[in-house]
Structure formats: structure tokens, C-alpha cells
Structure 1
Amino acid sequence: MVQVRVAGVALDATEQHVILLKPIGEIEGGGRILPIWIGQQEATSILIAIEGAVVPRPLAHDLMRSLVETLGATVVRVEVARIEEGTFYGEITLSTVLGERIVDARPSDAIALASRVGAPIWVADAVMDEASVPDTVTGADADADGEIETDADTVTAERLDEFKRFLDDVEPEDFGS
């Protein structure tokens, strides 16, 4: 498992929301980043939590936090546990009076909850190996044709092209704080 942080939430070239997870301890502009495409409501909810914004009525993830706290449980951690056929699966580990319990969740919901309660976010090594991409593309990473050289077992050409299109259209302000 790799502990990550939310590096940003942005829109890709097709106006789809994407959350960017970066391993803790890796320098900015280096290492790898895990993009996960999420829904608009989840993106908004994560941004609200990260920015500490106050909303007039609780959002669904605020309700989740309230339910967990009211039941005397705490969120121990959240995980992006696996990826199957391009779909990411998450888990929320709760500490309860009956012991630890693991709850299946969409990664976006798990991350939105973790962002509210300060729980650590983890990604399975196999998920990082399969779906992460280089944080930046430098000249040293490109061949004579400007194509990116990658290990075909870890990053497919299609996912890399998709991420390069995203990088071409992303603006710094899309990442928030």
C-alpha cells in the first residue's frame, strides 16, 4: 500500500472531473500520480472539504461523517483497493465498538469522507502499478519522435495518451490548494 494525498481535482479535456492522487513523500513534478475520473458532485464535495468551505446544509459526505460519529465510530483509513476492467474500488475502514469493519465504497466517496475527518488515504500497490502515470513528462522521458517511453505492463499507451491530453488542457487554478 502507498499512502497518498489529494494533489488536486480538475477537469479533463472532455470536461470530466478527475481527482489526482500523489504518493506522500514524492516531490512535486516527479514520481507518479494516480488520476481517477469521478462525478461532478463528488468533485465538488472533495473540493469543499479540502478548502474547508462552509455549506448551508450538509452534503451527502457530511451526512456520512455525522452518521459515523453519531454511532461512536471513527474512520481509520480509506483505500483505493483494486481496479477491475477500468473501474476503481474503494474501502473505508471504521473502528467501532465491535472492532474494525471494512465498508465497500466508491473511491470518490471514500476520499470525500477522508477529507472531512482527516483519515489517511491509501492506494494498493497493484492499483498504482496499473493505473498511475508519470507526474510530469520531461524530455528525458520522450524518444526521438516525442513519444513517451513507458513500461507496457504498468501504463498502457491509451491511458498515457489520455493523460497527456489532460495535461495539455489543465490550468494551475484547476488544482486548487
Structure 2
Amino acid sequence: MIPVLIAGLAVDTRSQPVVILKPLDDEVGRGRILPIWIGGLEAAAIVAGLNEVSPPRPLTLDLMRDVIQSLDAEVERIEVTRLEEGTFFAEITLDTPGGERVLDARPSDAIGLSLRTGTTIWVAEEVLDRAGIVMEQDVDEEAEVAAFSEFLEHVDPEDFQG
């Protein structure tokens, strides 16, 4: 498992939101990025978490965090575990008074929850190997963003199907 950070959110040419993960140890302009296509509502929830927005009423992921905390549990780990037929899978590991519990989750929900709990996101190396995009070395940030935008114009989520 490789620890990652959210490098950004983008929209592809079909107006489909994409969350972009990047290994923590990779330098800007080097290494790999992992695009995961998500829904519009999930993107809005991630943006709210990134911007630390506190809505007047709890959103679903805020409620999830509050329920977990009220049960004296905590989110121990968020993992993007596998890629099957173009679909990413994730797990949320909880540390509860009754022991460790692992829950199946959509990556978008797991990522959004990680932002609300301060939990590190991990990606299976096999997932990065299959769906990660290698960034060219020695490019500046503007060139990196331009190159990724160009990539999004020509890529289709089906390209990542196994």
C-alpha cells in the first residue's frame, strides 16, 4: 500500500468529475497520478472537505463521521484496494470498542471521509501499476496541469477496464 494525497479535482471533456491522487513521496512533476472518476455530488462533498466547509446541517459524510465518533470508534485507515472491470473499490477500516471493522466503500465516499477525519489515504500498488499515469520528469506545475488536461480530453473511463 502506498500513501497518497489528493492532488486535485478536474472535469473531463464530458463534464465528469475526476479526483486525482498522487503518492506522498513523489515530487511535483514526477512519479504517478491516479485519476478516479466520481459523481458530481461526490465531487462536491470532496470539495467541501478540502475547503473545510461546515454546512449548517450535516452532509452525509459529516453524519458518517459523527456516527463513528458517537460510537467511540475512529477511522483508522482508508484504502483504495482494487480495480475490477473499470471500477475502483475501497475499504474503510474502523477501530471500534469491539475490535477492528473493515467496511466496503466507494472510493469517493472513503476519500471524502478521510478529509473529515484526517485519515491518510492508501492505494494498493497493483492499482497504481494498472491505472496510474506516469508524469514526465522535470516539468513545471503549469506544464503538468496542461498535460493532464490534455490527457483528460482524450481519455475515457473505459480505458481503465481490466
Give the superposition deviation at 1:164.
3.9
Structure 1 distance, partners of 2:66, 2:131, is 32
Q: Which residue of 2 aligns with 1:166?
A: 152
Larger radius of gyration: 1
Counterpart code for 2:63: L
Flag the 1:136–1:62 CA change in 2: closer, same or farther, 3 A: farther
Tell me if structure 2 keeps the 8 A contact 1:13–1:165. Answer: no
Range with bigger deviation, 94-103 or 127-136: 127-136
Look up the SS of the partner of 1:93 in the other structure: strand
2:13 is equivalent to residue 27 of structure 1: no
Counterpart code for 2:92: I
Give the superposition deviation at 1:137.
7.7
Give the superposition deviation at 1:104.
0.2
Tell me if structure 1 keeps the 8 A contact 2:30–2:138. Answer: no
Structure 2 distance, partners of 1:109, 1:102, is 14
TM-score, length-normalised on structure 2? 0.84
Structure 2 distance, partners of 1:15, 1:137, is 29
Structure 1 distance, partners of 2:46, 2:152, is 20
Q: Which residue of 2 aligns with 1:61?
A: 61
Aligned length: 146
Structure 1 distance, partners of 2:9, 2:122, is 17
Structure 1 distance, partners of 2:52, 2:10, is 18
Give the superposition deviation at 1:13.
1.4
Q: Which residue of 2 aligns with 1:153?
A: none
Unaligned runs of 5+ in 2: 140-147, 155-162
Structure 2 distance, partners of 1:33, 1:106, is 19
Q: Which residue of 2 aligns with 1:88?
A: 88
Alpha-carbon deviations, 1:93-140, whole Å to 9, x = none? 00001111100000000000011000010000110000000234889x
Give the superposition deviation at 1:14.
1.1
Structure 2 distance, partners of 1:119, 1:165, is 29
State percent identity of aligned pairs.
48
2:98 is equivalent to residue 98 of structure 1: yes
TM-score, length-normalised on structure 1? 0.77
Look up the SS of the partner of 1:63 in the other structure: helix
Unaligned runs of 5+ in 1: 140-161, 169-177
Flag the 1:27–1:113 CA change in 2: closer, same or farther, 3 A: same
